[in-house]
């Protein structure tokens, strides 16, 4: 896991520190599926700005995720661009003025990056925008084998309504 030791940086209010860091992004689960970042280490820009009341952190990077498509379970690739910001007050009176990624004097970059990627993901990760998914009857991939089933078995409990529909 990647972390950054803030003791390396001595900033006075109004000063800024910029650095290019490599952040390790471990695989994670989203919607019960495993997604892997390729490559596992991504270059990121870390900006630390000291204010009179605290410190502002900014992390920017791009990541490419590989995993299953939500509809058809084929391979899906998703590129995400991340610009995440956090703030840590010097004397926090409220939990909202702290960042969970600052542990003692270390900024946990991998945890922050993983959470930022998870927040940037769409509701459904698809192999392509027009993915047809799997056939609900036979389970075949409708993208590679588009088909329809002729023999639909109806539930016998609906037979009376089907007869009524035929009369109308």
Q: What is the pLDDT of residue 101?
A: 95
Asked whether residue 94 carries a pLDDT value surpassing 90, the answer given is no
**Which of 55, 17, 23, 37 lies closest to 120 in space, CA to CA?**
37
Weakest-pLDDT range from 55-64, 73-82, 88-97: 88-97
Q: Is 123 exposed, middle or buried (0-12, 13-18, 19+ CB in 10 A)?
A: exposed
Asked whether residue 158 carries a pLDDT value surpassing 90, the answer given is no
Asked whether residue 69 carries a pLDDT value surpassing 80, the answer given is yes
Q: What is the average per-residue pLDDT within 99-107?
A: 93
Instruction: Give how far Cα 158 sits from Cα of 46, 95, 137, 149, Å.
Output: 63, 57, 19, 20
Q: What is the pLDDT of residue 152?
A: 64
Instruction: Give how far Cα 24 sits from Cα of 27, 44, 118, Å.
Output: 10, 10, 15
Q: What is the pLDDT of residue 155?
A: 76
Q: What is the pLDDT of residue 156?
A: 79
The confidence band for 159, taking pLDDT boundaries of 50, 70 and 90, is confident
Inter-residue contact 44 to 60 (CB < 8 Å): yes
């Amino acid at each position: 896991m990647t972390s950054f030791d803030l003791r390396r940086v001595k900033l006075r209010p109004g000063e800024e520190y910029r650095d290019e860091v490599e952040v390790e992004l471990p695989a994670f689960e989203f919607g019960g599926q495993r997604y892997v970042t390729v490559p596992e280490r991504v270059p990121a820009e870390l900006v630390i700005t000291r204010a009179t009341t605290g410190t502002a952190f900014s992390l920017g990077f791009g990541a490419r995720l590989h995993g299953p498509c939500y509809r058809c379970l084929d391979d899906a690739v998703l590129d995400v661009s991340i610009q995440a910001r956090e703030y840590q007050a010097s004397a926090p009176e409220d939990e909202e003025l702290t960042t969970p990624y600052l542990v003692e004097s270390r900024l946990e970059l991998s945890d922050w990056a993983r959470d930022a990627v998870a927040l940037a993901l769409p509701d459904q990760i698809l192999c392509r925008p027009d993915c047809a998914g799997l056939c609900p009857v036979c389970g075949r991939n409708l993208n590679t084998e588009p088909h329809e089933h002729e023999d639909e078995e109806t539930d016998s409990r609906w037979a009376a309504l089907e007869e009524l529909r035929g009369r109308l």
